[in-house]
A and B are shown apart, each in its own frame.
Chain A
Amino acid sequence: MTAASVEQRREPIVSVRDLQVRFQTSDRRATVKAVDGVNFDVRRGETFGIIGESGSGKTTIGRALVFLLNPSAGAILHDGIDPLALPRREFQNHRRDYQIIFQDPNAALNPRMTILASVLEPLELARIGSHTERERQAREALERVGLPQEFGERYPHQLSGGQKQRVVIARALTLKPKLIVCDEVVAALDMSIRGDVLNLFADLQRDLGLTYVFITHDLAVVSHISERVAVMYLGQFVELGPTEEVAERPLHPYTIALLSAEPRPLPSAMRQESRIVLQGEVPSPIDPPSGCRFRTRCPHAQPLCTECAPEWRELKPDHWVACHFADRPNFRTTRNTGEAP
């Protein structure tokens, strides 16, 4: 199926238009532009990945998508409507459909509540059904994520990290959401557990028709789970496209550097020989560079990059990039994917 027909089949469940989120610094002297003009759609039933390094604004986008933060400017539409325009009561009902899961299940679970009580809580707050009905739904959710019945009576400290993350997933499922924002949900888990939890996310999506926004700094995780991926740098998207395109034919120099920096568990003969090691670190989002924000670290920066910000353009079908020079053939390098020939 071509990218274009996928687009026709799937109308957006979330539309983000020129989103800006700004914070005041603690001394109130400066403004941090955590997210500064981001546009994208999340299509129904897909997994949309957002990758970026710390401070890129990916978590802020995630929180804004479920209205834990309100946009400073721009709009986020859920199913074509602006939830902020809804009356309070309707807004509260509406946001049940859009859940978020965080990195650290220890911080997300109350150590003094049993697992069942934690999973029940959203249902109680939403006053859904009778008590027995709610308990049945909570137990169903626990079963759904592969936890045995008796776990309901346990406390968080009696569970392993992977099991706790399953509880958090179960809790998000109780309200039967349409979309779940997953913010670094496997980062705190051990390697051998990570695969299990990623498989669980895939199963739930298949069975329940869920849409995910998967936020992570881990390129391997995002390329495994996502259909499309956006690359974020200093509050803006620099590239967005089908995962395979972005991972194998990246257009933006930052994406190319990011992919090249990822340490790969491959024998030396199969790794690319020249790695692009970016100099310096990410500049402050309080005072980002003029023009293209990546220019201070970009190996291909030109005077033009200082003068004006690159346009966000669709260089190939469904593949967007913000770089003045992304279409120059000599500038792009086909990345060695490290696969067996």
Chain B
Amino acid sequence: MGAGPPAQRRAEGARDGARPLLSVRGLGIRFKTTQGIWQATRRIDFDIAPGERVGIVGESGCGKTITGLSILRLLPGNFAGLDGKILFDGVDLASCSARQMRAIRGKRIAMIFQEPMSALDPVFTVGHQIAETLRVHSNIGQEEARAKTLEMLRRVGIASPERRIDDYPHQLSGGMRQRVMIAASLICGPQLLIADEPTTALDVTVQAQILELLRDISETSKTALMLITHDLGVVAETCTRMITMYAGEVIEDAAVDEALVRPLHPYTSGLLRSLPHLSPRHGRLPSIPGRVPSIAEMPAGCRFRARCAHAAKGCEAEQKLQDAGGGRRVRCHRFAELNLPGALHPPDAPAAAKVATQ
């Protein structure tokens, strides 16, 4: 981490007039279904600064994956429309032509997915697939492409890359395949890497290796990372800022340490408290009652209201993602009066206070 928490850095950046690398404004995605048009996400607002590592967290169906895909305009066939702006380095990706998008995808913004086996083509060698990105985006000779591929394989921690470059995906383990995917995504030196659950299919010891690699690459090559995950632990270990999504909306945006210790939204707090802890506790786990409303029957007003222990008058009104001070934003009108517990029990432990006031 550089100077101070990222939220602070971001605020300073804004004052300096420094432009964020990615600036999503009012993004909403609609899908056609047999039951009409469904609004999958709406009013998504967030920025990612150059080199910043941001976690997008939420449970299945909250819209985190589709948000990542929409930045690259990789939308499924039943896509019905997109609102808002996706400003990447000043260019609105939402209104780019297919040709312009092809020039950006893989070169300036790259993406890696959860299941490396389905993202790699089984009939081509890994070296061929990594070099393909290079060949598409630049006029490069075969030998130079191979040399760069070897260098990149070494960089992502593949032992004896000279031997591995001509291997087919099935000859590699899960962890190595994910390293190959990372190599392919980084070979053109993108400014933004979108990683959608990159370690969910991996074992915990291999996950630790991959997360360390992502962190290291982001730090040394100043690649911004947008890490989409359901695992708050992964975000805590990898990112500096955490954006929490619920039912298609951003509900909280804060520096990771702050969100973990003093979450401002009842949903973030509920999630943190419902996690079983590594140290044996054997008590009952606090849980969030009910379930996420389905897209077809989204309630008006706060979408978390029906499950929220703090619901009160005013929650039936539309909630704005409001500035909560210190570079934090939250979509809850009661945030200032609620003192919600976070990942530490009890929340007022001296260590928690120490972290919060840092």
Asked whether A220 lies within 8 Å of B237 as measured between CB atoms, the reply is no
Q: Which residues in chain A, 223-253, are within 8 Å of chain B measured between CB atoms?
A: 223-226, 243-244, 247-248
Asked whether B237 lies within 8 Å of A264 as measured between CB atoms, the reply is yes
A192-B271, A224-B277 as given contacts; A266 in contact with B343, CB under 8 Å: yes
Q: Which residues in chain B, 279-321, are within 8 Å of chain A measured between CB atoms?
A: 279-282, 284-288, 291
Asked whether A198 lies within 8 Å of B350 as measured between CB atoms, the reply is no
Asked whether A263 lies within 8 Å of B261 as measured between CB atoms, the reply is no
* Interface-side segment among B32-40, B81-89, B134-142, B208-216: B208-216
What CA separation (Å) do A266 and B336 show in the bound complex?
23
What CA separation (Å) do A239 and B284 show in the bound complex?
27
What CA separation (Å) do A195 and B285 show in the bound complex?
5
Asked whether A270 lies within 8 Å of B351 as measured between CB atoms, the reply is yes
* Interface-side segment among A70-78, A80-88, A90-98, A275-283: A275-283
What CA separation (Å) do A331 and B249 show in the bound complex?
49
Across-interface contacts of A243 in B (CB, < 8 A):
280
Look across to chain B and name the residue whose beta carbon is closest to the beta carbon of A223. B280
Task: For the complex formed, measure the closest distance between the CB of B302 and the CB atoms of chain A, giving whole angstroms.
Answer: 16
Point out the residue from A190, A247, A258 that lies within 8 Å of B59, measured CB to CB: A190
A162-B291, A266-B343, A269-B354 as given contacts; A202 in contact with B284, CB under 8 Å: yes
A191-B230, A223-B279, A224-B282 as given contacts; A269 in contact with B208, CB under 8 Å: no
What CA separation (Å) do A266 and B261 show in the bound complex?
8
Look across to chain A and name the residue whose beta carbon is closest to the beta carbon of B204. A261
What CA separation (Å) do A162 and B291 show in the bound complex?
9
Q: Which residues in chain A, 170-211, are within 8 Å of chain B measured between CB atoms?
A: 190-196, 198-199, 202
Across-interface contacts of B271 in A (CB, < 8 A):
191-192
Look across to chain A and name the residue whose beta carbon is closest to the beta carbon of B246. A192
Look across to chain A and name the residue whose beta carbon is closest to the beta carbon of B255. A267
Asked whether B236 lies within 8 Å of A224 as measured between CB atoms, the reply is no
A217 within 8 A of partner (CB)? yes
Asked whether B275 lies within 8 Å of A191 as measured between CB atoms, the reply is yes
Look across to chain B and name the residue whose beta carbon is closest to the beta carbon of A160. B291
Task: For the complex formed, measure the closest distance between the CB of A268 and the CB atoms of chain B, giving whole angstroms.
Answer: 6
Asked whether A53 lies within 8 Å of B237 as measured between CB atoms, the reply is no
Task: For the complex formed, measure the closest distance between the CB of B283 and the CB atoms of chain A, giving whole angstroms.
Answer: 9
Across-interface contacts of A53 in B (CB, < 8 A):
203-205
A259 within 8 A of partner (CB)? yes
Asked whether A277 lies within 8 Å of B278 as measured between CB atoms, the reply is no
Asked whether B257 lies within 8 Å of A268 as measured between CB atoms, the reply is yes
Asked whether B59 lies within 8 Å of A262 as measured between CB atoms, the reply is no
Asked whether A199 lies within 8 Å of B344 as measured between CB atoms, the reply is no
A341 within 8 A of partner (CB)? yes
Across-interface contacts of A193 in B (CB, < 8 A):
287, 291
Look across to chain B and name the residue whose beta carbon is closest to the beta carbon of A254. B205
Look across to chain A and name the residue whose beta carbon is closest to the beta carbon of B157. A279
What CA separation (Å) do A241 and B275 show in the bound complex?
23
Look across to chain A and name the residue whose beta carbon is closest to the beta carbon of B203. A53
Across-interface contacts of B3 in A (CB, < 8 A):
none
A160-B291, A190-B230, A219-B204 as given contacts; A267 in contact with B280, CB under 8 Å: no
Question: What total count of A-B pairs have CB within 8 Å?
Answer: 162
Across-interface contacts of B233 in A (CB, < 8 A):
262-265
A307 within 8 A of partner (CB)? no
Render B330-358 as a binary contact track against A, CB cut-off 8 A, 1 for contact.
00000000000001111001111011001
Q: Which residues in chain A, 295-341, are within 8 Å of chain B measured between CB atoms?
A: 337-341
Point out the residue from A225, A244, A258, A339 that lies within 8 Å of B205, measured CB to CB: A258
What CA separation (Å) do A248 and B211 show in the bound complex?
24
Asked whether B287 lies within 8 Å of A196 as measured between CB atoms, the reply is yes
Asked whether B257 lies within 8 Å of A247 as measured between CB atoms, the reply is no
A24 within 8 A of partner (CB)? no
Q: Which residues in chain B, 203-247, are within 8 Å of chain A measured between CB atoms?
A: 203-209, 211-212, 230-238
Across-interface contacts of A192 in B (CB, < 8 A):
59, 270-271, 274, 287-288
Asked whether A195 lies within 8 Å of B286 as measured between CB atoms, the reply is yes
B195 within 8 A of partner (CB)? no
Task: For the complex formed, measure the closest distance between the CB of A238 and the CB atoms of chain B, giving whole angstroms.
Answer: 13
Across-interface contacts of B343 in A (CB, < 8 A):
265-267
Asked whether B204 lies within 8 Å of A217 as measured between CB atoms, the reply is yes
Q: Residues on B close to A: CB < 8 A? A: 1, 59-60, 173-176, 203-209, 211-212, 230-238, 256-257, 260-261, 270-272, 274-282, 284-288, 291, 343-346, 349-352, 354-355, 358
In the complex, 20 of the A-B residue pairs with CB atoms within 8 angstroms, ordered by the A residue number, are A190-B59, A191-B232, A191-B274, A191-B275, A193-B287, A194-B285, A223-B277, A224-B277, A224-B281, A224-B285, A225-B276, A265-B343, A266-B343, A269-B354, A270-B344, A271-B236, A281-B176, A339-B279, A340-B349, A341-B350
Known: A263-B236, A340-B346; 8 extra A-B contacts, CB below 8 A, are A194-B285, A195-B276, A223-B280, A247-B278, A261-B204, A261-B207, A269-B354, A269-B355
